[in-house]
A = this chain, B = another copy of it.
Amino acid sequence: MRTRPLKVALLGCGVVGSEVARIMTTHADDLAARIGAPVELAGVAVRRPSKVREGIAPELVTTDATALVKRGDIDVVVEVIGGIEPARTLITTAFEYGASVVSANKALLAQDGAALHAAAEDHDADLYYEAAVAGAIPLIRPLRESLAGDKINRVMGIVNGTTNFILDKMDSTGAGYQEALDEATALGYAEADPTADVEGFDAAAKAAILAGIAFHTRVRLDDVYREGMTEVTAADFASAKEMGCTIKLLAICERAADGASVTARVHPAMIPLSHPLASVRGAYNAVFVESDAAGQLMFYGPGAGGAPTASAVLGDLVAVCRNRLNGATGPGESAYAALPVSPMGDSVTRYHISLDVADKPGVLAQVATVFAEHGVSIDTVRQQGKDGEASLVVVTHRASDASLSGTVEALRSLDTVRGVASIMRVEGE
């Protein structure tokens, strides 16, 4: 074994960073044996240097992250700051100064993944980011390496623990959105400002990363259709139950049937209770992958948290250190397929639509005609009348999002349709 240690600079020492530092210290012998050389924590860049950090020697702590990555003797920079800047500049500087990078930064990877990969390649360095998607769950490596000889057609997953906790709570207790969110906040599952989670921004960033890797195509954050879950109601859950379904916020990356384009989208959807994703509880994550040869695979585990995310970071750290000792780099960006990313209108799925209609003869015929005119085939209809009003629930066969939108617009203009109570996609069948 090489005795000269590999030097690691840690950028950020919050929930994840402190766990990375702790494991690097307590498991130093194991890491050395697995890598083939010791790894040494050479510096820790923080915002608040006065905070006491157990297990980290005070002389390692600095507020000058830039100086740390420019030291020139750093082998690997671990970036767990999050956000776009200063993380982006620090990572590109790290490459310029000869280091490889392990990052957990989904927002940055989703926005600037291509440029960062190019910078890594220019400097013969590695850029690994298993922790950026679904926390501890090995997902990037299986998609990028284990399935490298297969053709992935679909990646569909629960990739945000906060929203899964809220939806699971609504499902199991009948609570409304706000009540479930309040509980998630009280328990620390939701942040004070939950926008990034509940509006689907976090999941959309992960969808962009997953789609890019799965389809060997650059997918930018802007390419991902995004719909949050703040408007999911207890009534939606009741409707889902009647269909033998539950509701999950899903990130879905799909290759079109003709193979010539891909789509990526994030939205709440009904899925059958028999689907493996339906039983993913609490803040857990799970990702379902469908490929030509392997068939259906699922990966399940904790999607966030200090220790789980640190596990993923350290797995990458070991790999990057091994590569460095080998004088090699791991697989870089693979975007050779360069498939076009289709707009949301081209996405095809089934829909569950609840309408408030007048309870009089001819309404069903009118509504059915609108669906037919837009080429949307109806699977089931359920009508329930009361005091001159009626609710009409329509579940469609597979149709494009554009056709469905056209249908809904036309329905709204019917006199007999008082309102469109909800539209929800139905997945996983």
Contacts and interface: CB of A to CB of B under 8 A. Distances in A.
B311 A293 contact: yes
Interface string A130-142: 1000001110011
- Classify chain A: how many residues form its interface, as a range: 35 or more
A328 interface: yes
A27 B259 CA distance: 13
Contact of A295 (B23, B31, B296, B308): B308
A315 B138 contact: no
Copies in the complex: 2
A297 B300 CA distance: 5
Interface in A56-99: none
Contacts of A310: 149, 293
Interface stretch (A41-49, A112-120, A316-324, A370-378): A316-324
Nearest to A24: B149
Contacts of A182: none
A147 interface: yes
A400 to B, nearest CB: 28
Contact of A336 (B33, B130, B292): B33
A150 interface: yes
A168 interface: no
Contacts of A305: 295
Contacts of A322: 331
Given A299-B299, A326-B328, A315 B33 contact: no
A151 B295 CA distance: 30
Would you list the 4 A-B pairs with minimal beta carbon distance, nearest first?
Answer: A149-B314, A138-B146, A136-B294, A293-B311
27 contacts: A23-B293, A27-B149, A30-B337, A33-B337, A34-B148, A34-B331, A34-B334, A136-B293, A136-B294, A138-B297, A141-B142, A142-B146, A146-B312, A148-B315, A148-B319, A149-B310, A149-B314, A149-B318, A292-B307, A296-B301, A297-B299, A297-B300, A298-B300, A298-B301, A299-B299, A322-B331, A326-B329
